[in-house]
Amino acid sequence: MSNFIPHDRAEVNNSVSGILVIDKPVGMTSHDVVQAVRNGTHLRRAGHTGTLDPRASGVLVLLLGPAVRLSEYVSTSTKRYQATLQLGFTTATYDLEGEVMGRSPVNITYEEFEEALKDFVGEFEQKPPAYSAIKIGGKKAYDLARKGEEVDLDPRMISVTSIDLLDWNPPEAMIDVECSSGTYIRSLVYDLGEKLGCGATLTALRRTRNGQFTMREAIPLRKLQEAFVNGDWYKYLIPAAEALSDWYTIELDEEALDEVRHGHRIPAAEVVESGKWARAISQDSELVALMQYDDDTHEWQPRKVFFQ
């Protein structure tokens, strides 16, 4: 957590760059949370790194200030969810928001359910739900679906690292899913119901990890809003460098830092694979730049520079 405490709003706008990991409550959109943080911090530059549906809760990573430039790297990180589902019926939206489309008797054993889960581990194509924010011709799919228009989205390749059964109380079950960015848990539950032959619907969803960040780092939004009022929200700010803590790291001395801040290449201390990316940090652990290795010259080339 950060100990940085600026003295006025101008200093806030000029110097804050970092991460807030929020435990999003059910009922709010991800944009609602971003707006609440903008209002509380008085920062215009703020954005999330992966949408959570209004009915979902859990880890929502927000980037503030210059750190928003890390969004494309953080948003593609692996996610982890705890999902509660109910067997025996399906809805148009694959969750409890939609109209019930069909019901079936449930005669599934614990062993059959666990066996079916195995078919959803690995890389495979998944068809996103019609009621999603994916755009078709500039319009969101769920807007078209709500108007009664037929929505047929192309399947996309996803990766599921693991699925574990946490609780079995038929017709309900709870599963833990670790997956790639872009995976729709609603679609996974729907497809699981199709495989079992009885249908299934997502009834609750909680994201427990987004990249490097878990519920351990997440601050409830209510508590963060109290900190906005008290003026001490900065204690929850995580340094931007932590967003890429699993990256190869280059620590810069003063001479190298000056070179990188001006966009100049620096020699590599060791040989790494061609095209490898790294985070360059100062001796104070501040994120300075994102670098890429050039094996022809054995140098690191700055690609994004953050140091001011």
CA atoms within 13 A on the CB side of 222: 2
- Give how far Cα 29 sits from Cα of 67, 215, 230, Å: 22, 19, 25
What's the sign of the alpha-carbon dihedral 224, 227, 233, 237?
Answer: negative
Active site residue 53: yes
CB contact at 8 A, 129 and 190: yes
Which one of 8, 23, 32, 53 is the catalytic residue?
Answer: 53
Catalytic residue set: 53
